[in-house]
Amino acid sequence: MRRLCTVFVLGLLWDSMRAENIISSLRVAAEAWEGELPCGKWDCECAFKKKRGCCCATTELQKAEDEIFTRLTGLLTNLNELSDGILEALGGIKVAFTASMSGRTNCFGPFNRNSPVPYDAIALNHGSGYNPALGIFTAPRSGLYSFSISIYSKVDRPGKRMYYKVQLMRNGEVVASIWEDNRDDSEDSSSHTLLLSLQQGSQVYVELLKGRQICGIVEGLNTFSGSLIYPIID
């Protein structure tokens, strides 16, 4: 009986060795195969987990990964835009400025061409939209903005002509103006406020028309200011 069991075990071992040799031979043959492996789709198996990769679903998986990545990127962009909109709506992003002419000279103008008014004394510049070197406000966000300008001028003697005109410009186009032309007043002031819809990057500034002048400049009387009322999501 013991001898029979021994023979049976030896037979199993022999069969196992033969099977292992067969599998080993097939593995070597598969790894040496240079052609394409016949694969179905999701119901196939990788042949011996071949190192150079022969899984049938590789192409489908890569395509699915690319689609998921594209969708996630789009969702992230939308979330960032929504986050910016919420922050702006709640006051998290502030855009406001106030500047005036410093009065370093008594008169500004006249010039032989239209010239931006140099509001160089900065009282407020939240959002850094106003550039005092250029006298230009550049909208950091798209939205509805409020702008105000005030002009003060004074002549040095009665009967002298007071002659000025300033224009509020948006991207090179006139949107509002203030002017005075008389010999009756020795000093005068005017102001104007309006709302403008701006795209991000739009520029707003005040210019003095050629041949005109502003005199008797006192800091705080000639001002240019603006603020974001609410954002517009593009």
Q: Which domains does the chain have, with CATH numbers?
A: 94-231 (2.60.120.40)
Pair of tokens at residue 218: 């006192």
- Which residues have C-beta within 8 Å of that of residue 84, sequence separation ≥ 6? 93, 231
Can you tell me the mean pLDDT for 97-108? 87
Q: 12: pLDDT confidence band, cut at 50, 70 and 90?
A: very low
The CB density around residue 127, as the number of other CB atoms within 10 Å, is 17
Q: If DSSP codes are grouped into helix, strand and coil, which group holds residue 81?
A: helix
Higher pLDDT: 139 or 31? It is 139
Bridge partners of residue 174, in order along the sequence: 169
- Residue 90's pLDDT is 52
In this structure, how many other beta carbons lie within 10 angstroms of the beta carbon of residue 224? 25
**CB-facing half-sphere around the CA of 209: CA atoms within 13 A:** 14
Mean pLDDT computed over every residue of the chain: 77
Write the CA distances from 152 to 105, 107, 219, integer angstroms. Answer: 14, 11, 10
First-last CA distance in the chain? 90
Peptide bond into 110 cis (omega under 30): yes
pLDDT at 174 over 90: yes
Report strand pairing: 223-231 vs 121-126: unpaired
- The C-alpha angle 4, 7, 15, rounded to 5 degrees, equals 140
What is the identity of the amino acid at 13? L
Hey, CA dihedral for 112, 116, 117, 122, is it positive or negative? negative
Confidence check: pLDDT of 99 > 80: yes
Q: Which two tokens stand for residue 34?
A: 């240079």
- Which of 14-23, 39-48, 77-86, 107-116 tops mean pLDDT? 107-116
Stronger pLDDT, 87 or 131, i.e. the higher one: 131
Two tokens at 103? 């009065």
pLDDT for the residue numbered 29: 62
C-alpha separations of 131 from 118, 139, 205 in Å:
10, 11, 10
Burial (CB count within 10 angstroms: exposed 0-12, middle 13-18, buried 19+), residue 131? middle
- pTM (whole model) above 0.75: no
Strands (DSSP E) along 2-155, which ranges? 96-100, 107-108, 115-116, 121-126, 130-131, 136-138, 143-154
